[in-house]
Amino acid sequence: MALCVCVPARNEALRLPTLLDALSSQDWPGPIPVAIGINNSSDDSLAVVEAARHRHAGRLDIHIVQCTFTPDRAHAGSARRLAMDTGLGLLQRLEGSALVSTDADSRPPNDWLRNIAKAFSRGADMVGGRIEIDSQEPLPPAVQRLRAAWDQYWAEVRAIEDAIDPLAWDPAPRHGDHTGASLAIRAELYLACGGVPAIASGEDRALVLAVLARGGRLVHPVNVYTYVSPRLEGRADGGMAVAMQELFASAHNDTQPMAPALAHWRDRASWRRQLRAQANGSALIVQLEPMLPPMPNDMMLEPLS
């Protein structure tokens, strides 16, 4: 199938070469279309991308679009929409094509695109990729232990969901990530959903919900993942950097985070299963779940030793 990688970038001159080098090393028949939306930047991102375009000529077909958003629109939603819409315009056809979102501080392994395409070939409409901290920027031991504890917690949540409300198209083993750092969507579906919502934060999650509301099949194959920087200063409000700040603060203060007890997830999975059995159940879940009371954080997360 035809794939186009879409990258929003704001002041990412230091990170973009790593991403573009990783894309050039994909075991995917080239050239690989890459749409880069440089927005509201004051560094030399453009020159860096131009240099990479020459360095990877014939392998990466890099298209650059520049934009300076007004303050009310200078946010993650506008930036990702710019990159994704540009990528959509690069596709020669919609049928059998997909847009692959990633971030400028990502470093995907060389089988990333191939494994995404395999997931589509098995019937997926959207493919989420797991987020791994880049081993080239290791976390402090205390932070790593805390992150591992969260990984174990979410693995237990997924096990509950798989036992109570399994999805035939997204079988275990699976991860649970579907963020803009690694999120692929069929081009026709992207267009049908109206593209990336131009909202200040959570634009990737909003696009996922739009897909699910239309009955789209979201999958999380364990062989689809990307490495990202554990930087503490991000580009998007409420993004990965905020989560890293909280993780570092908990480790530094030696505090144990709180999370919803697993019993709440069992109740939620049972609720979803009952709703999913109804006509248009997937859309009902998307519509009604945000209206449920938030789960209480009543269980202490135990850091792994």
Q: How far apart are CA 184 and CA 176, in angstroms?
A: 14
| All residues at 6 or more sequence positions from 187 whose CB lies less than 8 Å from its CB, including other chains | 88, 91, 94, 95, 97, 98, 99
At the top level of CATH, which class does the domain 2-300 belong to?
Answer: alpha beta
E-state strands within the chain: 2-9, 32-39, 60-67, 97-102, 106-107, 126-128, 130-133, 182-186, 218-219, 225-228, 258-259, 299-300
Beta-bridged to residue 7, according to DSSP, are 36
pLDDT in tens, 226-238: 999 988 887 777 6
Q: What would the pLDDT profile of 233-257 be if each residue is shown by its tens digit? A: 877 776 777 888 888 888 888 888 8
Handedness of CA 244, 221, 4, 62 (dihedral sign): positive
* Closest to 108 in 3D by CA, of 183, 2, 196: 183
Beta partners for residue 61, in sequence order:
33
Give the span between the Cα atoms of 74 and 68, in whole angstroms.
8
For 15-20, what is the mean pLDDT? Answer: 97
Mean pLDDT of all residues in 78-82: 97
- pLDDT confidence of residue 304: 62
The length of the chain in residues reads 305
DSSP 277-302: TSTTHHHHHHHHGGGSPPPP--EEPP
pTM of the model: 0.95
Nearest Cα residue to 249 out of 122, 173, 146: 146
pLDDT band at 27 (very low <50, low <70, confident <90, very high): very high
Over residues 137-157, the mean pLDDT reads 92
Measured CA to CA in angstroms, residue 57 lies from 2, 33, 51, 214 at distances of 19, 11, 10, 39
At 243 the pLDDT is: 83
Q: Is 252 helix (H, G, I), strand (E, B) or coil?
A: helix
Question: Percent of the chain at pLDDT above 70?
Answer: 98
- The pLDDT assigned to 193 comes to 96
User: Which among 103, 112, 154, 283 has a CA at the least distance from the CA of 209?
Assistant: 283
Amino acid identity, position 279? A
Mean pLDDT of 70-90: 96
Helix, strand, or coil here: 126? strand
- In degrees and rounded to multiples of 5, residue 175 shows phi and psi of -95, -170
- pLDDT at res. 305: 59
Whole-number average pLDDT of the chain:
94
- For residues 190 and 97, the answer to whether their CB atoms sit within 8 Å is no
* Model confidence pLDDT, tens digit, residues 188-206: 999 999 999 999 999 999 9
Of 13-17, 48-52, 143-147, 173-177, the range with the lowest mean pLDDT is: 143-147
What pLDDT does 256 receive? 84
Q: At 69, list the tokens.
A: 């958003």
Give the N- to C-terminal CA distance of the chain in Å, as an integer: 45
